Structure 1
Amino acid sequence: MAKTERSSLYGEVTARIIAELEEGRLPWVQPWDAAKCPCTMPHNAVSTRNYSGINVLILWAAGLGQGFGSQRWLTYKQAEKAGGHVRRGELGTVICYADRFTPRDEAERAGNEDREARTVAFLKRFTVFNVDQCEGLPDDLTGTQAPIDPVLAVEQADAVIRNSDAEFRVGGGEAYYAPGQDFVAVPHQIAFHAGIDWYRTALHELGHWTGHSSRLNRDQTGAFRSAAYAREELVAEMASAFTCASLGIQPTVRHADYIGAWLEVLRADEKAIFRAASAASKAADYLLGSGEGEA
């Protein structure tokens, strides 16, 4: 992909997120209509693999904006291979795949010079369609998704907290992560207007916890209200949202304390939301891996 095309995609997505924030909306907090679409992560209808990083935000926004009944997506070719087709006139949603590769000539030079080969970043566009935009697909791809049992979801969230082995302190009047002492603190659940929001807050602070140098090693040295601090808050916010959606937890609150700081970060760097979403996916995966040890 040409450099200008990569820049255009970064700019397009960042502008979309900035517009949402300017309207006071957080596109990663409960971005679904529970009456129409079950609380879930967007995933490929054929492979069942969850999308990650910035694609989660893109697909959540597309699903909400067009009122789709599920978060199952597939490419034009996948729809045809499955025996169906995309309806005429339907517009797809552009998502992206980012990675790095080593050019052949660079690998050869590095070998001759006895050094590590330098990699080159690339960003590739894909167009996907929601299953609601297709016809003729088999029932196993279009059938109604059973909503996740919220009681089970809370049990799973408890398992995530317990199996993380984080030092997790409950009590007091504030929720925070102390990176120096490496512990998480949250108030008692009774302090929350809606008990389910305790889990969103707990998972937010555990999102910070994943960034410790002994775990995912993110930069957590930023002073309060600094750009670095805002970037870490952005990661923790999305990590909590991704984890909640994976567990079927539907929070009722939309925290907007840091919108101004996030806007500054995103306006200064069009790749910031891509980096934050990628880090949030890794944090959510880390936490969800902790929850697999117990039912």
Structure 2
Amino acid sequence: MAKHNVERQSLYSEVTSRISAELEEGRLPWVQPWDSAACGCTMPHNAGTARRYSGINVLILWAEVIGRGFASQRWLTYRQAEAAGGHVRRGEKGTIICYADRFTPKAEAETARGEDREARQVAFLKRFTVFNVDQCDGLPEDFTAAVASADPVLAIVEVDALIAASGARFNIGGGEAFYSPSHDFVQVPPQMAFHEPINWFRTALHELGHWVGHSSRLDRDQTGRFGSEAYAKEELVAEMAAAFTCASLGIAPTVRHSDYIASWLSVLRGDEKAIFRAASQASKAADYLLALVGEGK
């Protein structure tokens, strides 16, 4: 087996094992203890390009920020730190993230042309090592300056605007929150039913995470019945989509849907790439929602 295939499988296995261990302890990697964190809850991004990280890298970097007590969500490669005029401090340990894509091998492209068919693409996963700006010295002030916390009132206004801009059939009432794929509508109990008012908005974003998956939008498989593997996968995507959307708007994603932990563990144990796919789909869903109010990358 080629070395890059071994590395790819190792990274899939390593990340999946780490997330499975968190779930086994009853912790959700996308619901971190932000109240006790050294930095505010935002999406991690590259300090050099300002580009937000997405997919599985969000979970990896959030875990590092919480676990190692970093005060920033900004990251750099070793070379980026040097190019900016700073440097990574000696002895600092970097964090491995990944980039997934597909490419067409030259030989396959030539064969496909000869056989008058579409060329088959090959998936690849490339590793990168990044460092938090807290691990660097000598960086320009704009790389290290404290980021102003999001105004909680404005964050709520943004969610209201997002709901309105979506055009979704959004019903308020009843005692349960759900999305109906067959009838394409969201239903959320009235705000007075929530002990913490902010949880209404977190729940609304979770259900809109499902809404985005409808066949007329991002076209995810939403045919699974409650308790099935397909249902668990869709819940996993919506859960992370809500977390990514919340964090992008400055709302800590602390609503826990822990009833599905056993189902999620079963999915992850059966497929070490499942969490990668789910996180990627969640990022696409969050980007879709954030684009409605002009937020995003």
Same structural fold, with TM-score higher than 0.5 when normalized by the shorter chain: yes
Amino acid at match of 1:185: Q
Q: In 2, Cα distance between the equivalents of 1:256 and 1:62?
A: 22
Give the one of 93, 101, 105 matched to 1:103: 105
Alignment of 1:213-228 (within 5 A): 213-228=215-230
Partner of 2:265: 263
Partner of 1:197: 199
The verdict on how the C-alpha distance between 1:251 and 1:98 changes in structure 2, with shifts beyond 3 A counting, is: closer
Q: Is the 8 A contact 1:196 1:251 kept in 2?
A: no
Partner of 1:28: 30
Partner of 2:9: 7
- Give the TM-score of the pair, scaled to structure 1: 0.97
Q: CA deviation at 1:169?
A: 0.5
Give the one of 114, 117, 134 matched to 1:112: 114
Partner of 1:232: 234
Query: For residues 199-221 of structure 1, what are the alpha-carbon distances to aligned partners after superposition, in whole Å with 9 as ceiling and x for unaligned?
Result: 11101100001111110000011
Q: CA deviation at 1:38?
A: 1.2
Amino acid at match of 1:80: E
Q: Gapped runs of 5+ residues in structure 2?
A: none
| RMSD, matched Cα | 1.2
Alignment of 1:9-158 (within 5 A): 9-33=11-35, 36-158=38-160
Q: In 2, Cα distance between the equivalents of 1:136 and 1:174?
A: 52
Q: CA deviation at 1:70?
A: 1.0
- Secondary structure (helix, strand or coil) at the match of 1:291 reads coil
The verdict on how the C-alpha distance between 1:112 and 1:174 changes in structure 2, with shifts beyond 3 A counting, is: same
Query: For residues 101-144 of structure 1, what are the alpha-carbon distances to aligned partners after superposition, in whole Å with 9 as ceiling and x for unaligned?
Result: 00111111111211111000000000000000000000000011
Q: CA deviation at 1:188?
A: 0.6
Partner of 1:273: 275
Query: For residues 190-246 of structure 1, what are the alpha-carbon distances to aligned partners after superposition, in whole Å with 9 as ceiling and x for unaligned?
Result: 101101011111011000011111100000111111111000000000000000000
Amino acid at match of 2:188: V
Partner of 1:284: 286
Query: For residues 24-60 of structure 1, what are the alpha-carbon distances to aligned partners after superposition, in whole Å with 9 as ceiling and x for unaligned?
Result: 0111024534552011000001111100000000000
- Secondary structure (helix, strand or coil) at the match of 2:208 reads helix
Q: In 1, Cα distance between the equivalents of 2:289 and 2:253?
A: 18
- Secondary structure (helix, strand or coil) at the match of 1:124 reads strand
**Within the alignment, does 1:174 sit opposite 2:176 as a pair?**
yes
Q: Gapped runs of 5+ residues in structure 1?
A: none
Q: Is the 8 A contact 2:96 2:129 kept in 1?
A: yes
Identity %: 73
Amino acid at match of 1:197: N
Matched residues, number: 293
Partner of 1:206: 208
Q: Is the 8 A contact 1:194 1:252 kept in 2?
A: no
Q: In 2, Cα distance between the equivalents of 1:36 and 1:286?
A: 29
Q: In 2, Cα distance between the equivalents of 1:31 and 1:263?
A: 21
- Secondary structure (helix, strand or coil) at the match of 2:237 reads helix
Q: CA deviation at 1:274?
A: 0.1
Query: For residues 169-199 of structure 1, what are the alpha-carbon distances to aligned partners after superposition, in whole Å with 9 as ceiling and x for unaligned?
Result: 0111110000000000000111011010111
Q: In 2, Cα distance between the equivalents of 1:52 and 1:252?
A: 19
